[in-house]
Amino acid sequence: MSTTGTAATPATPATPTTPRTAPLRVLAGAAFLMATSAIGPGFLTQTAVFTAQLGASFGFAILISVLFDLGAQLNIWRVLTVSGRRAQDVANLVVPGLGHVLAVLVVLGGLAFNVGNVAGAGLGLNVLFGLDVRTGAVLSAALAIGLFIVKEAGRAMDRFTVALGFVMVGLSAYVAWVSAPPLGDAVLRSVVPEHIAPLSIITIVGGTVGGYITFAGAHRLLDAGLSGPESLRAVTRSATSAIVIASVMRIVLFLGALGVVSHGLALDPQNPPASVFRHAAGDVGYRVFGVVMWAAAITSVVGSAYTSVSFLRGLLPRAEERWSWLVIGFIVLSTAVFVTVGRPVKVLVFVGALNGLILPLSLGTMLVASRRRAVVGDYRHSMALTAGGAVVTIAMAWLSVQTLVHELPALTR
């Protein structure tokens, strides 16, 4: 399972990587791949919208979501890397055929959201250079495809996501600083909120570790050859780092938006995150938004395509040796849908609702797998992690079903 094959030649098996030999690039690359997969156009919009609605109390939702995110991510990453298998293979060992169901859900959800990611990349270039959004989308997709054509695609992907991850956090931190948010109120309401909105929690948890996102880094580590119980310390560090990166980005966006709304400025309902950047720093801030939007979108394009295709590897004949071509095809298809059809709102929302079911399904499966010797051998999974994962699974399952019950009738009319 290597990411060092080219798009034109079969990938060669990865050299097993132990925690002592695992390069920092691989661990950081996995963390940033997961984090930047989470930080997409939807991530930016959700943060701005909920801050406008809840004010400083949205900090409480962020705090709770971080705990949920860690509970989900640590369980999934540890079980997958101990077993040395991807999620769909582990699921098939738990219940025959379940891995195929999980793969279909992840690929369909990843494809639908990748249409939005491609659109976001086009919007970013539109803000920066005035390009037509569709033209910007095609150019961005071409750049993403280029990462998987080079000889060492995995290394190129690692460097790309790490570099743009730093760019996004740095520029967003600048906007948070110039917006002068009420930090004391933000800290207080993060612990003692005036308002609690369960929908905000389910939305941002799903946007951080839902769907394909939580598997991105774990599958990257497996493809780099990092597996087995001896890798757990490195895996835990990488998984935690991924959540920290995504959470830092969420917090600086929250503070930027809070600074704007606390000064009595209204956000544009058509583009809430753009108005945060513009209100905070004027025309310069709007250009900064263009960079952040493009970086968030293009890294999500890469993460979505790579992770979705990783669910096909091992399930489809010859998919393992032709994975880079499949990634390229996935990006091309996403771009073609956006250019020709646009963003079909009902389809995106409907698939998004279904995508919310993936986390409780996948996390619940991993918790069962953690007790199966056929999957994890002699490894004993932490009872504390199991309990925390069970809480996340039950909560997300209930909230996801409620979302489907209330949203499905409207979407099918």
Mean pLDDT of 16-24: 56
Number of Cβ within a 10 Å radius of residue 269: 9
pLDDT tops 60 at residue 100: yes
232-262 helix and 153-178 helix, angle to the nearest 10 degrees: 30
Alpha carbon 183 to chain centroid distance? 27
- Give yes or no for residue 21 having a pLDDT over 60: no
Structural tokens at position 138: 């095609």
Mean pLDDT of 370-390: 95
Q: Is the pLDDT of residue 270 over 90?
A: no
Q: Which of 69-83, 132-146, 263-277 has the lowest mean pLDDT?
A: 263-277
Cβ-count burial of 108 within 10 angstroms (0-12 exposed, 13-18 middle, 19+ buried)? middle
List CB contacts of 409: < 8 A, sequence separation 6 or more: none
Residue-averaged pLDDT of the chain: 87
CA distance 324 to 283: 39
Q: What is the pLDDT of residue 353?
A: 55
Q: What is the pLDDT of residue 297?
A: 93
pLDDT of residue 364: 95
- The predicted pLDDT at position 7 comes to 35
Mean pLDDT of 244-257: 95
Residue 253 predicted with pLDDT over 70 = yes
The better pLDDT of the pair 146, 9 is held by 146
The pair of structure tokens assigned to 292 is 């952040």
Maximum distance among all alpha carbons in the chain?
59
What pLDDT shows up at residue 342? 74
Residue from 66, 47, 346, 403 nearest 200 by CA = 47
Q: Is the pLDDT of residue 1 over 50?
A: no
pLDDT at residue 399 is higher than 50: yes
Confidence (pLDDT) at 259: 96
Q: How does pLDDT run across 23-69, given as a tens digit for each residue?
A: 688 899 999 999 999 898 888 988 999 999 999 999 999 999 999 99
- Are 283 and 55 within 8 A, CB to CB? no
- Of 235-239, 312-316, 337-341, the poorest mean pLDDT is in 312-316
pLDDT at site 170: 95
| HSE-CB of 190 using CA atoms within 13 angstroms | 16
The CA distances from residue 220 to 32, 86, 235, 323, in Å, are: 11, 10, 11, 13
Question: Residue 72 is encoded by which pair of tokens?
Answer: 């989900």
Confidence bin at 293 (pLDDT 50/70/90): very high
Tell me what pLDDT residue 2 has.
Answer: 37
What phi and psi values does residue 313 have, to the nearest 5 degrees?
Answer: -70, 130
pLDDT band at 409 (very low <50, low <70, confident <90, very high): low
pLDDT in tens, 161-184: 999 999 999 999 999 999 999 999
Whole-number Cα distances in Å, 409 to 16, 126, 360, 375: 50, 35, 22, 40
CA distance 206 to 347: 18
Q: Where are the domains of the chain?
A: 24-412
Going by pLDDT thresholds of 50, 70 and 90, the confidence category of residue 71 is: very high
Cα→Cα distances 80→36, 199, 309, Å = 20, 29, 17
Count Cα atoms within 13 angstroms, Cβ side, for 112.
20
| Residue 413 pLDDT | 59
- What is the pLDDT averaged over residues 252-264? 96
Question: Which of 201-205, 222-226, 349-353, 359-363 has the least mean pLDDT?
Answer: 349-353
- Region 305-315 average pLDDT: 89
Give the residue carrying structure tokens 């000064």. Answer: 263
Closest alpha carbon to 413 in 349, 358, 354, 355: 349
Note the pLDDT of residue 137.
Answer: 95
What share of the chain has pLDDT > 70, as a percent?
A: 88
Q: With 90 as the cut, is the pLDDT of residue 351 above it?
A: no
3-class SS of residue 316: strand
Output the pLDDT for position 410: 57
CATH 1.10.8.50 fits 24-412, yes or no: no
Handedness of CA 42, 43, 48, 50 (dihedral sign): positive
pLDDT value at residue 51: 95
